[in-house]
């Protein structure tokens, strides 16, 4: 099974606490977890044990110098980093984390500006959008984009004959996806489309990053709009072709491999297992488009240097090493996160990875792409934010409650969260002063 990569894996939550606790105890006993001579690299990414081992034994193997790789679940990681900063007990020099997690450290000034490093590394050919995201809305480059991932769709080749006439699989619309699902249902007698709506699935990201941006061009501001009403209604119609097992699916790769689902959506890390195992059986393509374009959610992991870093110079060197194209390719091969720099993929790339890479490129490069970032500035309210979308889904799609009334009701809950956190709007919602407002 592919290890869980997001913060929502529940077994990882349980077990993830144990090493953190052990580390805290050790840190308390020894005074510091890392040897003074080693460069401490704290990371919210690659925390599953297999990936952490790949990081230590393969990706960092050629780095000239000793690096202590200290991965942790994002909430625990941020707590630890804040404790280091506030307690003035600096251990970590480099911090690798999701865009949204790094954003929470900006107000405290914890991230050192890296403008000169970005300039020095410019020849690597970073994707300009990603570099811009690394400014985190400030004047300075606060992180260097390290790895990226996203969500896309996978179809079993058996599903291809049922594609609606004239549909281009790389430029599908939600309407065509529904017709496709209906055609498959008619032919097989079963609902063959799948979404990861299980307890630890990433369904909320589909609403926040794909469905709503496609229909409304926004997420928060347009939550109650007439466009949103249409989007939810059409999704409820599409759901009639979706397997009812979807509310138990956490990793789409399993449902794809056992044939429960012919056409499914998920995060690349939760699809790669199927693509690697049976690359000949599947095709990959971007999520559908709605009236406002093709919503998609880039997942960017950045590298920052922390204020008070014991070894700021070594930290910069390590960032340089991790973002060089050769290391980025090793990273893609070993852990399934993709380069942020211009790194021509080698011809010997495994067929499964090739499928993933082509879908990621097609998603980000789509002419009608509407990029929607992970929520920013919500702090501990991130979970409740996700719940607003999941509850809306539960009410409208599963329980068949009226769309308008549900959006009004859930819109209030959404506004309460925005007010409590005072979080300004993020892309694709237009820039706001003060808390983002549900219109």
Partner 1 sequence: MMRGRALPYLLVAPAFVFLAVLFCVPLVQTIALAFQTGTGFGLGNFVQMAEDLNFNDAVVNTFRLVGVAVPLQMLAALGMAVMLGHLRAGRDLVLWIWTIPLGLSDLAAGLVWLALLNDQGYLNTVLFHLGIINGPESWLTYETPMALFAAIVIAEIWRSTAIVMVVLVAGLQLVPKEYAEAASVFGASPWKIFLRVTLPLLKPSIQSALILRTVLAFEAFAVVLAIGGRNFPVLVSEAYTWQHFNQAPAIAAAYAVVVMGISLAATVVYLRVLRTPAAQRA
Q: Is residue 59 within 8 Å of 327, Cβ to Cβ?
A: yes
* Residue 82 makes contact with partner 1 by CB under 8 A: no
* Residue 277 makes contact with partner 1 by CB under 8 A: no
Q: Which stretch binds partner 1 (CB under 8 A): 104-112, 137-145, 290-298, 384-392?
A: 384-392
Pair type for strands 144-149 and 338-339: antiparallel
Closest approach of partner 1 to the CB of residue 11, in Å: 9
* Residue 17 makes contact with partner 1 by CB under 8 A: no
Could you give the C-alpha distances from 113 to 237, 300, 307, in angstroms and in order?
48, 18, 9
Closest approach of partner 1 to the CB of residue 198, in Å: 6
Q: State which residue, 101 or 227, has the beta carbon closest to partner 1.
A: 101
* Residue 248 makes contact with partner 1 by CB under 8 A: yes
Closest approach of partner 1 to the CB of residue 94, in Å: 26
Closest approach of partner 1 to the CB of residue 384, in Å: 5
Q: Is residue 99 within 8 Å of 74, Cβ to Cβ?
A: no
Q: Is residue 3 within 8 Å of 50, Cβ to Cβ?
A: yes
* Residue 101 makes contact with partner 1 by CB under 8 A: no
* Residue 8 makes contact with partner 1 by CB under 8 A: yes
* Residue 424 makes contact with partner 1 by CB under 8 A: no
* Residue 402 makes contact with partner 1 by CB under 8 A: no
Encoded tokens for 372: 């929607």
Pair type for strands 299-305 and 263-267: unpaired
* Residue 12 makes contact with partner 1 by CB under 8 A: no
* Residue 307 makes contact with partner 1 by CB under 8 A: no
Closest approach of partner 1 to the CB of residue 381, in Å: 7
By CB under 8 A, name the one of 66, 140, 190, 439 that touches partner 1: 190
Closest approach of partner 1 to the CB of residue 247, in Å: 5
* Residue 79 makes contact with partner 1 by CB under 8 A: no
Closest approach of partner 1 to the CB of residue 144, in Å: 28
* Residue 236 makes contact with partner 1 by CB under 8 A: no
* Residue 198 makes contact with partner 1 by CB under 8 A: yes
* Residue 317 makes contact with partner 1 by CB under 8 A: no
* Residue 386 makes contact with partner 1 by CB under 8 A: yes
Q: Which stretch binds partner 1 (CB under 8 A): 7-15, 87-95, 110-118, 348-356?
A: 7-15
* Residue 13 makes contact with partner 1 by CB under 8 A: yes
* Residue 324 makes contact with partner 1 by CB under 8 A: no
Q: State which residue, 113 or 198, has the beta carbon closest to partner 1.
A: 198
Residues that bind partner 1 (CB under 8 A): 8, 10, 13, 75, 190, 197-199, 243-245, 247-248, 258, 260, 380-384, 386-387, 391, 394-395, 398
């Amino acid at each position: 099974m592919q290890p869980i990569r997001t913060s929502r894996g529940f077994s990882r939550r349980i077990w993830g606490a144990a090493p953190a606790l052990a580390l805290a105890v050790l840190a308390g006993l020894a005074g510091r977890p890392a040897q003074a001579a080693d460069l401490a690299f704290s990371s919210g990414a690659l925390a599953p044990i297999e990936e952490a081992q790949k990081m230590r034994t393969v990706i960092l193997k050629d780095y000239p110098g000793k690096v202590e790789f200290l991965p942790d679940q994002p909430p625990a990681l941020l707590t630890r980093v804040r404790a280091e900063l506030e307690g003035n007990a600096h251990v970590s020099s480099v911090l690798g984390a999701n865009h949204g997690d790094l954003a929470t450290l900006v107000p405290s000034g914890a991230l050192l500006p890296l403008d000169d490093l970005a300039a020095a590394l410019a020849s690597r050919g970073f994707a300009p959008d990603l570099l811009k995201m690394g400014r985190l809305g400030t004047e300075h480059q606060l992180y260097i984009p390290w790895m990226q991932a996203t969500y896309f769709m996978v179809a079993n080749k058996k599903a291809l004959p049922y594609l609606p006439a004239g549909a281009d699989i790389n430029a599908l619309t939600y309407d065509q996806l529904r017709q496709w699902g209906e055609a498959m249902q008619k032919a097989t007698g079963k609902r063959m489309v799948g979404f990861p709506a299980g307890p630890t699935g990433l369904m909320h990201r589909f609403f926040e990053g794909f469905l709503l941006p496609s229909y409304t061009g926004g997420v928060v501001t347009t939550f109650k709009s007439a466009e949103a009403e249409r989007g939810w209604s059409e999704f409820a119609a599409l759901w009639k072709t979706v397997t009812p097992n979807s509310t138990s699916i956490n990793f789409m790769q399993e449902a794809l491999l056992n044939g429960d689902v012919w056409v499914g959506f998920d995060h690349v890390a939760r699809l790669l297992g199927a693509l690697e195992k049976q690359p000949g059986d599947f095709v990959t393509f971007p999520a559908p488009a709605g009236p406002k374009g093709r919503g998609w959610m880039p997942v960017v992991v950045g590298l920052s240097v922390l204020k008070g870093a014991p070894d700021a110079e070594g930290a910069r060197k390590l960032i340089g090493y991790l973002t060089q194209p050769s290391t980025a390719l090793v990273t893609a091969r070993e852990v399934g996160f993709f380069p942020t720099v211009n790194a021509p993929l080698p011809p010997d790339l495994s067929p499964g990875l090739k499928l993933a890479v082509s879908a990621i490129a097609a998603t980000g490069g789509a002419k009608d792409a509407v990029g929607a970032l992970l929520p920013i500035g919500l702090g501990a309210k991130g979970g409740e934010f996700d719940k607003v979308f999941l509850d809306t889904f539960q009410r409208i799609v599963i329980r068949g409650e009226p769309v308008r009334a549900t959006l009004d009701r859930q819109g209030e809950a959404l506004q309460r969260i925005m007010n409590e956190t005072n979080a300004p709007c993020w892309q694709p919602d237009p820039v706001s002063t003060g808390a983002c407002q549900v219109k």
